[in-house]
Structure 1
Amino acid sequence: MLRSAGRKPETFEFLGFTHFCSETRSSGRFTIVRETSKKRMRATLQGIKNYLLKHRHYALPEQLEWLNRVVQGYMNYFAVPGNSRRINAFRTAVQMIWYKALKRRSQRSRLNWKKFGSFVNAALPKDKILHPWPEQRFGVKYSR
């Protein structure tokens, strides 16, 4: 992974993240960026979709409780610095999947996106970065 002949190092996938090199906008410093792997995100969303389509006739509080656990668990693992775009995309995709599953509950659905959007924005966990940058995490000084 050494930089040679002015080329960028290769990207690689490890532990569900795609690692690649980038430069910061403000200072131009070299940094390694971690984003959620597309394969991992697609597989997770497919699992959520299958579950919601199978259990769409369950009560809304039961579905919401399950979705909260799944989304919060996903964010606990993947909400690292530099991954906010993918975290936001994941949350939006979960909202769309749940909306489509609820629309298929009956032939005359009265559910519209405006009403559902305000409900789900208040109900699902917010997309925010939960982990600090590595230099903040490892730069702790202990008084001994």
Structure 2
Amino acid sequence: MKRKTSSKKYRASILRCKEWLKKHRNMPAPYIWWLIRPKLWGNYRYYGITDNAPMLYKFLYEVEKLLFKWLNRRSQRKSFDWEKFRLFLKKFPLPTPRIFVNIYDVRVRIFA
């Protein structure tokens, strides 16, 4: 049985990111990046379980699309096209998803 993020929870997370970006779009872009990184890490830590990597990457892609959209809506002129946005992402990379909990790991971990 494969595990993946519930579609209801996934949509709610995307909606929360959308509302947050809508509210904070007037901040400087590097500051938005600095604030959204912990939100992405929190999502990865919570949903980063075995077999859920595709949903984590899908979440990252959706957040990138939202960032592109809201950064372009800050003025009457478009700030970015996709090429410039990709260069911006190279300069200010977002955290990449990773699996934090492997349920098939047979080693027992004892926390002190």
Q: Give the corresponding residue for 1:110.
A: 79
User: Is 1:140 aligned with 2:112?
Assistant: no
For 2:101 and 2:50, how far apart are their aligned partners in 1? Answer: 7
Q: How does 1:1-144 map to 2 (within 5 A)?
A: 32-120=1-89, 123-132=93-102, 134-136=103-105, 138-140=106-108
Q: Which amino acid aligns with 1:139?
A: R
Question: Is contact 2:41-2:95 (8 Å) kept?
Answer: yes
CA contact (8 A) 2:29 2:71 kept: no
Specify the code of the residue in structure 2 equivalent to 1:124: L
- Asked which structure has the greater RCO (Cα within 8 Å, sep 6+), the reply is 2
Determine the C-alpha separation between the residues in 1 that align with 2:54 and 2:19.
Answer: 24
**More strand by percentage:** 1
For these two proteins, the number of residue pairs brought into alignment is 109
Structure with bigger gyration radius: 1
Q: Distance in 2 between matches of 1:109 and 1:135?
A: 47
Q: Percent identity?
A: 29
More helix by share: 2
TM-score (ref. length: structure 2): 0.87
Structure-1 separation of matches of 2:43 and 2:53: 13
Q: What are structure 1's unaligned runs of at least 5 residues?
A: 1-31
- How far the C-alpha of 1:141 sits from its partner, in A, is 8.6
- Residue segments in structure 2 that go unaligned for 5+ positions in a row: none
